[in-house]
Amino acid sequence: MACCDEPQLIPVQDAIARMQVAVQAVTDTETVSLPELLDRVTAEPVHAGFNVPGYDNSAMDGYALRAEDAGQVLTLVGQSLAGHHFDGELNAGQCVRITTGATIPAGADAVVMQENTEVDGDSVRVMKAPSKGENIRRAGEDITQGQEVFPSGYRFGPVDIALLASLGLAEASVKRRLKVAVLSTGDELTPPGQPLKAGHIYDSNRYGLIAILQRLNVEVLDLGLIPDQPDQIRAAFERAGAEADAIISSGGVSVGDADYVKDILGELGEIGFWKVAIKPGKPFAFGHLGKAVFFGLPGNPVSSMVTLHQLALPILRTMAGEAPEPPLQLTAKAASGYKKRPGRQDFQRATLRCVDGENQIDSNGAQGSGVLTSFLGANAYTVLEAERGKVEAGEPVTVIPFDRFIT
């Protein structure tokens, strides 16, 4: 198939935009129960079948009363407990003992906190009068019947699961999980746990990439470590292209003699582009292979993590049916200087702090593409624009805090 070589570097946002329009979201859906819904993506909007709360209830432990009666000694005529409401109706001069969450009795229009009362048997004196409606949570105050609670394309988090349960929903319709094939290439790589030969390194990328994908809750097809042998790379690609929605390959996309990934992708599929103006991670390939979308990541460990996080992950989220928002961006003062040459957008690992009410960002040490320890203790990227050069201490810089996919 056609291979489109683009030697020029593509700006990061242009690369993301081109990938977004080149992929489609999964259409298959399934119904999944509450315990399995974490990090699943809604296939349709979820609406509330009733008001939440479903009735007027007390926000405090105290006494339900008519606000206009607060200036007199009241007669205690019963109690309203959570799950056991008061059946009668309050008349003038009466009150009901009430607990937090209990139904407001008919006739009552306020709740006085128990700390603001004096009680003597069935007589209750109000020491601090409440206003009408005070300490009452109204029906539908949180959610109204028929309200859209979750839109289509929403990824459920832990609190969302509790909210679904509060709506009486035991299940929800979600998109099927993406299936993503992952492989590493390189004769210099050794599986962890095996003796390390001279000139070799351990295959760290694949395990880090899979860990990020697990946060995305995709089905991972781990194709393992593939040597720099064209026939074996070709066989792995053919399998992945037939079985997966997306393929993530680490290594083999630069210009070395043994970097076969790009050539075999061009032979079996289609290359959209293979160089992006990002640092670390310039040799990033995107294309299609069989029914799958292909992401070719660099072999250097930091480059591999950053390009998956910043380039491939937004596309995978779109393919999963999600409608992700752009990452949060802040402005902070550079606590120290940054070395940089214009040309590529730089994502430097850094530590964001608030110092005397001001955001400050400090480089997290050596920033080489093989220095995985640059992530240790970091909580954000310092993002230096492609056209920007050296940054002096005290200058404002753009910051993207780490999200749950990378920390």
pLDDT of the residue at 239? 97
> pLDDT category, 247, cuts 50, 70, 90?
very high
pLDDT of the residue at 258? 53
Burial code (b: 16+ CB inside 10 Å, e: under 16) for 277-303 equals bbbbbbbbbbbbbbebbbbbbbbbbbb
Q: How far is CA 251 from CA 100, 297, 327, 373, in A?
A: 59, 6, 27, 20
Instruction: For residues 149-166, give the mean pLDDT.
Output: 97
The pLDDT tens digits for 20-72 are: 999 999 999 999 999 999 999 999 999 999 999 999 999 999 999 999 999 99
Across the chain, mean pLDDT equals: 94
Q: Does the pLDDT value for residue 4 go beyond 80?
A: no
Q: Does the pLDDT value for residue 5 go beyond 60?
A: no
DSSP bridge pairs for 338: 391
The amino acid that residue 179 corresponds to is: K
Burial of 160 (0-12, 13-18, 19+ CB in 10 A): buried
The pLDDT tens digits for 262-279 are: 889 999 999 999 999 999
The amino acid that residue 130 corresponds to is: P
pLDDT of the residue at 1? 40
Q: Does the pLDDT value for residue 2 go beyond 60?
A: no
pLDDT of the residue at 260? 83
Q: Give 257-266's long-range contacts (Cβ < 8 A, gap of 24+).
A: 258/187, 258/228, 259/228, 260/185, 260/228, 260/230, 260/233, 261/185, 261/233, 261/285, 261/296, 262/296, 263/230, 264/230, 264/233, 264/234, 264/237, 265/3, 265/237, 265/289, 265/294, 265/296, 266/1, 266/3
pLDDT of the residue at 7? 55
Instruction: For residues 160-178, give the mean pLDDT.
Output: 97
CA 236 – CA 242 distance, rounded (Å): 10
Q: Does the pLDDT value for residue 296 go beyond 70?
A: yes
The pLDDT tens digits for 386-402 are: 999 999 999 999 999 99
Q: Does the pLDDT value for residue 361 go beyond 60?
A: yes
The pLDDT tens digits for 174-219 are: 999 999 999 999 999 999 999 999 999 999 999 999 999 999 999 9
Domains of the chain with CATH codes: 12-28+176-319 (3.40.980.10), 33-51+143-175 (3.90.105.10), 57-137 (2.170.190.11), 330-401 (2.40.340.10)
pLDDT of the residue at 8? 82
Q: Does the pLDDT value for residue 256 go beyond 90?
A: no
> pTM (2 decimals)?
0.89
